[in-house]
Structure 1
Amino acid sequence: MSIIRSCAALIVATLLAGCQQQKAPEPRTFANVDDARLESAESNADDWLSYGRTYNEQRFSALEQINAGNVGQLELAWFHDLDTNRGQEATPIVVDGVMYTSTAWSKVVALDAASGKALWTYDPQVPGATAIKACCDVVNRGVAVYRGKVYVGTLDGRLVALDAGTGKVVWSVETTDPKASYTITGAPRVVKGKVIIGNGGADIYQVRGYVSAYDAETGKLAWRFYTVPGDPAKGPDNAASDKVLAEKALPTWFGKWHEYGGGGTAWDSIVYDQELDQLYVGTGNGLPWNRRIRSDGKGDNLFLCSIIALRPSTGEYLWHYQVNPGETWDYNANQSITLTELVIEGRKRKVLLQAPKNGFFYVIDRESGKLLSARNFVPVTWATGIDLETGRPQEVPESRYENTTFVAQPGGAGAHNWHPMAFSPATGLAYIPAQELPMAYRDDPAFSAHPKTLNTGIDFSLLGAPDDLAQRAAIATMLKGRLIAWDPVAQKEAWRVEHSGPWNGGVLATAGDLVFQGTADKQLQAFRASNGERLWHYDVQTGVIGGPVTYRVGGEQYVAVMAGYGGAVPLALPALKPAFAAPNGRVLAFKLKGGARLPAYTPVPLPAATPTNEQWPQTRIDEGRGLYSTYCSRCHGASLLSTGILPDLRRSPMTGHQESFANVVLKGALEPRGMISFAGSLTAEQVESIRAYVISSARVLQKQESE
């Protein structure tokens, strides 16, 4: 018996010793990102820690497991379907094998980056009525991560901090006046314990742009910088911008701009320069666009359409460069700002690169803000060049469309919009998702500001399309999209790839001699970075507008992208080609010999037009055409030519029922889905005129489809 007890004791002792020697597994941490990790992101190729991967926002990765020699073996690794067909513009963040990304309506999802398995989701419950405040779809461009938290700006103006492990709200702050037409669609940036966020809304009503910094732990406001002056009668704002607005900006404004708001929102590009400890903020158009209305046709209107350098700790003004003084075309400077060093005239310079809407590629000294060079990267008709001494554009006199109609190239959609460009230190080239979208400008003689319309001061009836299909086809050939490889030192094109149309996705460059870009015609493509040769493509079944990322998990490199067509151009401009119902978006990740497959997909044709036999006088139909252009076209498409993302009203059975149509337009029956009530803006008689125009156009469509 004693021997048995001794053996038992020995066994127990051995087991206990083994348990003591075996270490308990370390608890998994999420978003374990501090300042040191963000500052050294260049040396961490495995992760994609911030919007542009590193603070330089070059969207370049040193990973080369996937390269020009083997990219043909790239296959789908996993996909994650989303719950909406609205535009997907986010750049995913990847940290330690977890992907964090935002989706339309400001939702956030955390995914296992190797398998695509959903870890958690967060829905901020943005009210559907907020959609009317968004000029350009209910999109969101991404999140930021820092010290175990995920930060997202919501369409209705909140900045929300989430627990990165659970998706639970840690804190939430209101960053805008909910009574005004502010939105947030841009991705936050984190700099030294502060979350930096801007806002949008400068196309709508009573919006004055600013950028804010919040404490990353508590959500407390640290500083705010207004980008345009407010009402002089109200005095200073007690903000970081007070002095510079009073001394530099206010003398450049005239008239009653402050009654409209002024605009100048920082809705996208916010970039930190860790070498110089400077924050660069790109600002947007005026409100209204038309300077004649906004500022009595006078003044540079600082700091519209500018790059502003600030001290990130305090918001102190350092310098600015105004891309378009006295802006009047919607030529934002919110587009990608990329930091690098270039040898120019034998001297190494710290520079920032930008290819904004106006069609010129800028190289700016980021120590001084001095313009070093500028050259148009697409055909430009509004200016003949940029004066290097003054930094000002050499405008064509009639381009300001005073008492005339002027067709500008590029138009308000820009030669390059928000879609991120990339820069490769390996090739020395910038890769620009460029486009040609001309636009006719003319004063709106009947302009009056209104909270439920685009307050541009431009006659939007010029954006319509003819009924004749041959004429539409001819116009479609004028709308172009391309990927341009641009040499910023020589200021010339190195190569280009033509796409089937405009509004294509952002760009990723890698050390594998590759450039990745998604396109509006549903392809994710890979090109040789040195010469533009197309090496690989994959049908993702819906248009791609967001920027791809690459990362490494378990020794394997992945390329991932958000797919989901939408945004300003697909909603507002006429669809000149046959449209199909837009499918829901998804997140897709690829690796070498991935082996996964998407389910089969057949495009769903839009329903046939079945107009009623109701009749109205032509004057009533023409009135409806004008009202539709003012109130409806930015979502349902100019001339009723929808892309299929939002309903094509010519094909909707609801338009055949006067009461049902009025219930939607005047009583807000579909407000939870984003279709607000226009009561107080439109009368019942005006709504009936819109319905008359819709049914009249539906008859034209019905005839075309029967021939």
Structure 2
Amino acid sequence: MKRTFIGLASGLALLMAGCHGTGTQGTGATGSDEWPYYGHDRQEQRFSPVDLINRSTVGKLGLTWSAEVDSDRGQEATPLMVDGVVYVSTAWSLVYAFDAATGKQRWVYDPKTPHDSLISACCDAINRGVAVQGGKVYVGTLDGRLVAIDAKSGKLAWQVNTLEGAPSTMRYTITGAPRVVKDKIAIGNGGAEMGARGFVTAYDAASGKLAWRFYLTPNPDGKPDGAASDDVLKAKAYQSWGDGEWRRSGGGGTAWDAMTYDPEANLFYIGAGNGGPFDYQVRSGGKGDNLFLSSIVAVDPDTGKYRWHYQTTPSDSWDYTATQQIMTATLKIDGQPRDVLMQAPKNGYFYVLDRKTGKLLSAKPFAPVTWSTGIDMKTGRPNFVPNVHYQNGPAVLQPGPFGAHSWQAMSFSPRTGLVYIPVQFTTGAYQKLDKFQHRPVGQNAGITIPEFPEDQLPQILAATTGQLLAWDPVAQKARWSVPKRWFVNGGTLATAGDLVFQGDMDGVLSAYDAYDGKPLWSFKAGQSIIAPPISYRINGEQYIAVMAGFGGAGALVGKIVPNQPRSNGRLMVFKLGGTATLPKAPAVEQAPIDVAGLSSTGNADLGMAEYDRTCGVCHGANASVSYTADLRRSGALHDPALWKSVVIDGVLKDQGMVAFDKILTPQDAENIRAYVIRQAKKGAAAQGVAGKK
């Protein structure tokens, strides 16, 4: 069976000193002691104005307390600190509350998220954070609820089903953090790859009563939804879509991460996601820009009514979402202060817009970009390269679906005028399917999914790296960079101590000089850090806090991220003079892959294609990572009947392994087993283990 290599992104398809002092803080800033919002302040700059930990003192930074959570899944959350309490969400949407100075646990709330909801998630059972407002803590759950928790007691205050009104045939999850919007709480969702139509809903923070809803793509049946977005969708968006699969799937556009409330402009900015399916020809007949896919949309925070939009990637066919962090600031441009919005989305361009009007002010690539030759400043549109929509054969493009920058937070220092971006160097080769068929379970990305060719791995590994990049948003150029071994790393934190903090996939939290990138301090966490740090101050002491825990989308792609041993996630908190130590991690020795006697009557080539469509979203590319369960080591692999009972009959449903009887036949399951056996034998050969050929 013919396969196509799509570079670094198979998991998701299933799935440089100078010019300082150009920025100002603006009135959207919050108090210096707390970290009350997802991005610290309303501007989402992730800048701490506390400077006790600085270039001179950071060498004395040490761990002061840590707390283990109850899941070994990916940990991506930004902690919040309000009134001396740290609130943090973990995998499966749990919320913990700790004394911010001592680490004493005050409470933990478990929303009892059904584990079978994982089947609708593109990238692990992660959760990126909570919101705090009016004595309540708010969290979105993987199965689509918005839950309000009493901040003092940890008891349920109220909860709503945010998916009410959405077609039951569409498959949604929530992994992003809610946002406080005046007296409301706003939440989006994910699921574009699965077959979903994106929207954002705002609820009264006190009662949970629906305030407004904004859909990011038109209603597939052409009827009004009774939502704030109806007028603009009819006037602008509907005409930008042709006929195609979107009339079944909703087209995508899910708002799974970026949302920013701007009190100065009285606007709420929403980052809209990729198209579903990816292939523009399948999704929309190859016609139209497909609004509001991969767009920044500004709405009225009181009513949800449309104000303006800017589409970063018209006719998106590459998973180039605009769901990455939306940051506001006041920059000096052409000698005059200008209120701007900044974003570095997946497509590799750094955008600066007028945040009141949406006018494009500048756009330059911050990473290698080959899908376009630049942005036309008159129209704001990209200049596409030939065959960019891969209808005349495969198109090898940079970046790939993982993007040049994903959800991992960037930060901005008003002191240096620089934005600190966790950059990803990725490539993707896109190829259309011979025939697309919508599936009720599993991926509906609509492109071929590859197996990594072993002979290309050296080149792939050499090219698949990361970078901490200091970017000048006024000059639109790099000021300095620090190379990273792996392409997936943690978000960043900038501080008034002229430091930049970032964790990485190797499990090291580091502090760098914000002006030149010189490394000044590091701490070995013992497990990967993909979450962003925060800072707060209590009783005259400054703290740095960060979650550690391997997982997320990057863990789905074997050999281009480390295949880390599983261990429960942990919140780590540091201060000057801290002397605590982490508990010693238990030794993890993985048994050799046992392939003795393994055989199958199935077709491994057919199984490879079905594995990619059905299994890879949880078990990783090439069946070669132990992200959830390493299928090459599964006991069920040795017994065809047991394998069928798991895959078809769902005997492990309570553990999240749902039944696939509605989309797979017993022969499909056996074909998948044949493919996994083939991968197991490859793995055993690499370990020097003899097995049946």
TM-score range, shorter chain: over 0.9
Residue 141 (str. 1) matches residue 154 (str. 2): no
The separation in 1 between residues aligned to 2:618 and 2:434, in whole angstroms, is 23
Q: Residues 305, 578 of structure 1: CA spacing in aligned structure 2 closer, same or farther, 3 A cutoff?
A: closer
The separation in 2 between residues aligned to 1:111 and 1:138, in whole angstroms, is 22
Greater mean deviation of Cα atoms: 475-484 or 608-617: 608-617
Task: Report the AA paired with residue 243 of structure 1.
Answer: D
The separation in 2 between residues aligned to 1:47 and 1:576, in whole angstroms, is 37
SS in 1 for 2:292: coil
Q: 2:6 is matched with which residue?
A: none
Q: 2:186 is matched with which residue?
A: 196
Task: Report the AA paired with residue 273 of structure 2.
Answer: G
Deviation at 1:232, TM superposition (A): 4.2
- TM (norm. structure 2) is 0.93
Deviation at 1:389, TM superposition (A): 0.7
Q: Residues 442, 641 of structure 1: CA spacing in aligned structure 2 closer, same or farther, 3 A cutoff?
A: same
- 1:475-554 maps to which residues of 2 (within 5 A)? 475-554=460-539
- Please, which of 173, 185, 189 is the counterpart of residue 183 of structure 1? 173
The separation in 2 between residues aligned to 1:269 and 1:701, in whole angstroms, is 39
Deviation at 1:603, TM superposition (A): 5.5
Residue 563 (str. 1) matches residue 553 (str. 2): no
The separation in 2 between residues aligned to 1:439 and 1:627, in whole angstroms, is 20
Q: Residues 310, 578 of structure 1: CA spacing in aligned structure 2 closer, same or farther, 3 A cutoff?
A: closer
Deviation at 1:635, TM superposition (A): 1.6
Deviation at 1:645, TM superposition (A): 2.7
Q: 1:129 is matched with which residue?
A: 116
SS in 1 for 2:238: helix
The separation in 2 between residues aligned to 1:171 and 1:301, in whole angstroms, is 36
Q: 2:657 is matched with which residue?
A: 675
Greater relative contact order (CA < 8 Å, ≥ 6 in sequence): 2
- CA deviation map 1:350-407 (0-9, x unaligned): 0000000000000001111010000000111111111111000011012111121011
Q: Work out whether residues 612 and 695 of structure 1, in 8 Å CA contact, stay in contact via their aligned partners in 2.
A: no
Identity rate, percent: 50
SS in 2 for 1:518: strand
Query: Bigger radius of gyration, 1 or 2?
Result: 1
The separation in 2 between residues aligned to 1:231 and 1:690, in whole angstroms, is 34
Q: 2:331 is matched with which residue?
A: 342
Task: Report the AA paired with residue 310 of structure 2.
Answer: Y
Greater mean deviation of Cα atoms: 432-441 or 656-665: 656-665
Residue 583 (str. 1) matches residue 567 (str. 2): yes
The separation in 2 between residues aligned to 1:615 and 1:88, in whole angstroms, is 37
Q: 1:609 is matched with which residue?
A: 593
The separation in 2 between residues aligned to 1:139 and 1:334, in whole angstroms, is 16
Q: 1:22 is matched with which residue?
A: none
Deviation at 1:231, TM superposition (A): 2.5
Count of matched residue positions in the alignment of Structure 1 and Structure 2: 660
The separation in 1 between residues aligned to 2:532 and 2:599, in whole angstroms, is 48
Q: 1:308 is matched with which residue?
A: 297
- CA deviation map 1:444-493 (0-9, x unaligned): 11321112221111101x2x12345xx42332111011110000000000
Q: Work out whether residues 575 and 637 of structure 1, in 8 Å CA contact, stay in contact via their aligned partners in 2.
A: no
Residue 237 (str. 1) matches residue 225 (str. 2): yes
Q: Work out whether residues 580 and 603 of structure 1, in 8 Å CA contact, stay in contact via their aligned partners in 2.
A: no
Q: 2:19 is matched with which residue?
A: none
Q: Work out whether residues 306 and 323 of structure 1, in 8 Å CA contact, stay in contact via their aligned partners in 2.
A: yes
Unaligned runs of 5+ in 1: 1-38
The separation in 2 between residues aligned to 1:58 and 1:416, in whole angstroms, is 16
- CA deviation map 1:63-108 (0-9, x unaligned): 1111111111111000000111111111001012100111000110
Q: Work out whether residues 307 and 322 of structure 1, in 8 Å CA contact, stay in contact via their aligned partners in 2.
A: yes
The separation in 2 between residues aligned to 1:561 and 1:147, in whole angstroms, is 25
Residue 415 (str. 1) matches residue 404 (str. 2): yes
- Please, which of 270, 283, 286 is the counterpart of residue 272 of structure 2? 283
Q: Residues 61, 614 of structure 1: CA spacing in aligned structure 2 closer, same or farther, 3 A cutoff?
A: closer
Task: Report the AA paired with residue 154 of structure 2.
Answer: G
SS in 1 for 2:387: helix
Q: Residues 347, 289 of structure 1: CA spacing in aligned structure 2 closer, same or farther, 3 A cutoff?
A: same
Q: Work out whether residues 318 and 400 of structure 2, in 8 Å CA contact, stay in contact via their aligned partners in 1.
A: yes
Q: 1:333 is matched with which residue?
A: 322
- CA deviation map 1:618-673 (0-9, x unaligned): x811111111111111221211121x331121122221111221121112222222
- 1:587-602 maps to which residues of 2 (within 5 A)? 587-601=571-585
The separation in 2 between residues aligned to 1:89 and 1:565, in whole angstroms, is 9
SS in 2 for 1:90: coil
Residue 152 (str. 1) matches residue 134 (str. 2): no
The separation in 2 between residues aligned to 1:682 and 1:446, in whole angstroms, is 18
The separation in 2 between residues aligned to 1:448 and 1:595, in whole angstroms, is 58
Q: 1:628 is matched with which residue?
A: 611
Task: Report the AA paired with residue 570 of structure 1.
Answer: A
- 1:56-205 maps to which residues of 2 (within 5 A)? 56-176=43-163, 177=166, 180-205=170-195
Q: Work out whether residues 65 and 573 of structure 2, in 8 Å CA contact, stay in contact via their aligned partners in 1.
A: yes
Task: Report the AA paired with residue 167 of structure 1.
Answer: G
- Please, which of 243, 247, 268 is the counterpart of residue 255 of structure 1? 243
- TM (norm. structure 1) is 0.91
Task: Report the AA paired with residue 268 of structure 1.
Answer: D
Unaligned runs of 5+ in 2: 1-25
The separation in 2 between residues aligned to 1:492 and 1:467, in whole angstroms, is 36
SS in 1 for 2:374: strand
Q: CA RMSD in A?
A: 1.5
Deviation at 1:514, TM superposition (A): 0.3
Deviation at 1:605, TM superposition (A): 3.7
Q: 2:5 is matched with which residue?
A: none
- Please, which of 227, 230, 238 is the counterpart of residue 216 of structure 2? 227
The separation in 1 between residues aligned to 2:562 and 2:225, in whole angstroms, is 51
Q: 1:639 is matched with which residue?
A: 622
- Please, which of 396, 399, 404 is the counterpart of residue 393 of structure 2? 404
Q: Residues 578, 702 of structure 1: CA spacing in aligned structure 2 closer, same or farther, 3 A cutoff?
A: farther
The separation in 1 between residues aligned to 2:596 and 2:436, in whole angstroms, is 33
